Every structure is written in structure tokens, then in C-alpha cells.
Amino acid sequence: MKLPGVAYASNFLALRRCLPCAALLSGLLAGCGVPGSGPTPGATPDKPAQPLAEAGGCPRLAGITLAPQDVGVLRTHGSTITNAASVTAQEPGVGPFEYCAVQGLILPLDSQAPPIHFQLNLPARWNGKALHMGGSGYNGTVVTGTGPINMALFTTPLARGYATFGSDSGHPATAAGADFARNEEALLNFAWQHLKKTHDVALHLLQRYYGQPPQRMYFAGASTGGREAFTAIQRFPLDYDGIVATAPALNFAGMRLMGVKLGQAAYRVPGGFLPPPKQQLVRDTGVRVCDTLDGLTDGIVAAVDACRARAPELMRRLRCPGGRDTGPQCLSDAQLATVRLLHEGFTLPWGMAYGQTGYDGYNVLEGTDFSGLLGLGQSPTPASPPTIVANGYLYTQGDAYLKYFIARNPSFDSLRFDFANPGPLQARINELSAVVGAIDPELRPFAERGGKIILAQGLADEVVSPNQAIGYYRWQVSQRGQTAVDSYLRFYTVPGFQHGGGAFIPFWDLLGVLDRWVERGPAPEVLVATDVSPGNSGRQRPICRWPLIARYKGSGDPNSAASFNCSP
């Protein structure tokens, strides 16, 4: 099944390849209301309008209203700029810089749907490039674009001269998290439409402010933002020149169902819940057994595949005598069953979009820590509704997904959901697995126009399974061949990196790597990242292209990247 965005992209690619069709393409774009395709407001054929950056500047943007055709190819009721103000900021290593902060609304068709709130930042020293920045979780908070890229910490793009923008994806955050999904337009905005709408408004305003469109348009995001990055290039491959996607939630439906599976294992099976000390025990056991497999004892499990081969041994070490719960020093059989589910993932007796039949497991036996805020929770009983602190991130988010996206019933009991016989909910799950998610393997329209992808994944991620990204990458290589994939996608894995925290937290310039590659620089190979985790700040490691890992040479400063080689 092809998504609408792919068909849209294929048609436009055909037009772009046909140079004699330039006039036709221009007419089609104007007819569709693509930003920047028609005359600049206030311009005449003889006298183009002066860019606002030169004609009074930032304050003149406030109060501007954009007609629906100025917002772009997706239907809206237009857009309104609610505020525009000049800001002076300071950043170490950059010094003072100025930008115009623009806030606005994109108005929905459905009067019951919330508007999309967005922010666009227009730097005084513009480098001619723009960066769309993604969100997190179920979104609901405006991505201001004034900070660093999530999970790719470095100097803020705005301070480096990029025009940056982001949105709240079309709904405000609430305690329930996912209750917005009961409104169809709000759900579609969250899934993918807010990306196109926000992009097109930003492009229109960039043209109006600077008098020209950006030379390059990038997208960067992590987790939900990583899903959004892949969604953008799968559905609208002509809109972006490159993306940085860290820990992307590609198989969104599978990940949410995995959360429900974990909730059932912990709370429907007597004794299935792991209290925090046992969650820590699992992590410590994996590190103790597997830390040295890369040649160095440093608290980081880098040789994850070799460690996975020891999973049966690790399970035996963790098991209480007789399989009964005898205390915090071991796991009962019911608790081991929860760990096994987390480690191996699950397979459905029915399929979802793009051939997905479940979700790949996590590296829980390979040193991933599930005892933190985004882990398995602290309570042996489920709250009503579940909360992240009490019942864990994965179960809480999965429960909300079934309640609001699938059943659309706040009283729905996800612990009683029958995976083998979901009844009428199966069709809804299958439908939404194509709508919300970025598991579509078709990347050729983006690649064929020269688009580039930097994909990064922490191997100790406790929210987005690293094995899902690995599976997606493997599929690309199996279908396209290594040489072809190398021309548009570079995949890096980071041992010890969790979903933002972990034993190794990389400080690295992924946007700079992407930008140089897009600008016909050398394709990236081994990267170097500096660890900013508490207690280890300053040590460096080479970050290798998967499936290679950083192995200690056996001598040299263990805190220097030069003391490691990338090898199988």
C-alpha cells in the first residue's frame, strides 16, 4: 500500500525531471497554492516587494494573515501571525546574536479541532538554510527551535544562522496525553499533516521576510521527532534536502502495542511486575557479564550482539531457585517472563501496514537500564489511569494509544485487550499503523533527488527499541544493496546511550555532518562524540557505522577516541 504522500512525490519528481515542463510545473504549483510559487504579497510585475528584513523588519510580521492557498497543498482555514519580536541571545562559542521570533496559528477546518501553534525564528545573520525541528512523545508543546537538536547536543542551529521552526503538532498537552486523538483532524495533524502545514507556512514567511527561499531545508528530531523526520521524507520527499533522525519511533503502532503487552505481563500475571531493585539487578547483571567484550571495562556494553548470545546464561543467573520470588537478589519465573517479552519482542497472529507483525525487543539483558523515569515504573499495581512514574513509560503510553487512538473510549481497559482476537479493533489498528508511523520502506523518491539521511540510535534505548531501527536499515540494504544505501543513508549506533541519558551521552554535531554531506562534501564515515554523562564528562569514543563497534586497542588512553578501532 502506498501512502498519499508517496504518490504525490512521484508525480512531482516526474515533472522536475522534465525540463521542458517547467512552465507546466510552475502553473501546477501556483494552482495548488504552494508557498513561494505565486507573486510575493505587495509585489507588482514591475516592482517586487522589498523583503521585510529590509523594510522595517520583524515587527511588521505581527498580525499578518495568510490565506488558505498560502498555507500550502493541505486544506486549512489559513494562518495568523500572533506575535513577532526581535530577540538578542547569547551562546558560548558564538557570542551575541539576534533573531526575529515569530509565533502563529494554522487554523483547522473542523471547528472542534485545535489550531496548530508554531514558532519560526529568523536570524539576522541568516546562512540561507532552514531547519524544521521535531517534537517528542505525544507532542502538545510548541517546539520553539531555539535550543539544540534533541539527543544530538551541540551549538544551537539558530545561533549558527539556521532559520528554525517547529510546532505543537496541532493540540495542547493534557494530563491524558493522547486524548486529542478522538478528533480526527487533530489525530491526522499529529500523525503527519502538521509537518506539511508548518513547513509550507514557514517557507512562505521565509520568502516574505528574506526575499528568497532557503537554499537548503533540513529536518532534525529524536523519538517522535525522528518519526516525524522519516514521515516527512516518505510523504513529501521534495520538501527536504536531508534529515537527522535519532531514535526514531518508526513502528509507532508496534511500539505502543509493546507497551500494552508489557502492562499485561506485569499486571495481569501474578508476580509479573519487577520492582525497581530488580530492574536495576537486570541491568547490573548484563553490564557485569558483557562490559569487557569490547576489550575495556568502562560501564558500557558495546558488543551487544555478543552479549545477546549470552542471554540464556544471563537468564539462568537471574532466576531465583525454584522460580519463586525469594527477594531482590533474583527474579521469579513470572518476572523472567516479563524480561523475556521485553528482550524478544512479540509477534501478532495478524499483520499491520508494510508487513509489520509486531515489535522487536529491547537490549534489556545487554545493559539497558529500565529503572529510570522512562523505565518500567515503581508500583506493583496499575493506577487508573496508569502513570509513567507508577507503571512505566511504555505501558502508560500504550494504554493511552489503545484508549484514544484505537477504541476512542477513555474507559477502555487495555489490560483486557485480546491480542489474539482483537475483534473490530483490529481493522482500526491496521489502518492507523499506516497513518501514524514511518515504517514505509520506500525512500527512493527522496534518495533519487539527492536527499541524505543521518540515522542514529542508542543501543541502550529503553523507549524506542534499537532493533527496530536495525531492522529498517537491514531492509533498505537487502532491497537496494549496500552501495545504493550508502549513497543516501548513514546509520550510527551509540553503545550505552539510552533515550537521552545513559552510560554514554554523545555531544556531537550531526547537523554539521549532514550539511557537509548534502553540500557535496565527503560522505561521513566514523564520527567522534564526547561523553557528557554525569561522572564521565569529557571522554571520547568513535561512533561507528552499524554493524561495527568501537573496540579498545588494548593500550592507550581509554578516554581518547584514538585508542579504539571500529571493527565487527
Q: Which residues are catalytic?
A: 223, 461, 499
Residues, the chain: 568
Contact 326, 336 (CB under 8 A): no
Return the C-alpha cell found at 401: 494509544
Sheet holding 489-494, edge to edge: 65-66, 79-91, 95-106, 116-123, 163-167, 129-133, 216-222, 242-246, 452-458, 489-494
DSSP structural state of residue 5: H
Return the C-alpha cell found at 195: 509537518
According to DSSP H, which parts of 275-387 are helical? 276-290, 304-308, 311-318, 333-344
Q: How far apart are CA 490 and CA 548, in angstroms?
A: 12
Hey, what amino acid is at 231?
Answer: T
Q: How far apart are CA 550 and CA 562, in angstroms?
A: 10
Phi, psi (degrees; rounded to nearest 5) at 452: -125, 150
Helix (H) or strand (E) holding 443: none
DSSP-derived secondary structure for 21-42: GHHHHHHHHHHHT-TTSSPPTT
Say how many C-beta atoms besides its own lie within 10 A of residue 427's C-beta: 10
Q: Residues with Cβ < 8 Å from 381, sequence gap 6 or more?
A: 267
- Strands, E, within 223-265: which ranges? 242-246
Q: How far apart are CA 219 and CA 282, in angstroms?
A: 36
Residue with cell 501556483: 30
Return the C-alpha cell found at 230: 522519516
